[in-house]
Amino acid sequence: MKIELWERPSRKFVDTTRDVVWISEETDEKGQPLFMRIPEERKTKYEQGKGFQVGEYHYSSVEQLTSRCIDEEKKIYQENYGHTVIEIEERFPCFDSYDFMYENRYYHWIYFVADNKLNCVYYEDESKFIEVTEDVESLRKESWKEMKACGFLDESGILQF
């Protein structure tokens, strides 16, 4: 199975979110995929420091997701169970020069594929919670653009981990 990112249909406002669709690589006689799967997203919130679960995999901390660095500049890692991981960070908003000098907190989205599901672990620096999304249904613009810049997303919208 491969993951395709689809642009959302045109609406009143521009929507830059991309929908995730799993498509079989096997095709019929007309070249169409034999089947498609629309993800069924499931979110679970965990308290920081108490461990969390992604599918059948248990992690005691988010650091286990980035335990082996593959490319530090692109923030590509391999987690404890061998899955390739991409971490996307975004700095907390800064509104004035004081914020730019002293604000050093980030939002973190950590994506990886396991058991034919795209998963995301989200947390904020200094937060007490971790949010796990199993079988991600859509990607925000900043995430898919970063994946494209790192070589995970090709021009035709195929996402490959």
The confidence band for 113, taking pLDDT boundaries of 50, 70 and 90, is very high
- Give the residue-averaged pLDDT of 150-161: 87
One-letter identity of residue 58: H
Query: Mean pLDDT, to the nearest integer, of 131-141?
Result: 96
In this structure, the strands spanning 52-54 and 42-47 are: unpaired
Which of 43, 50, 64, 57 is CA-nearest to residue 131?
43
pLDDT digits (tens, 9 = 90+) for 17-26: 999 999 988 8
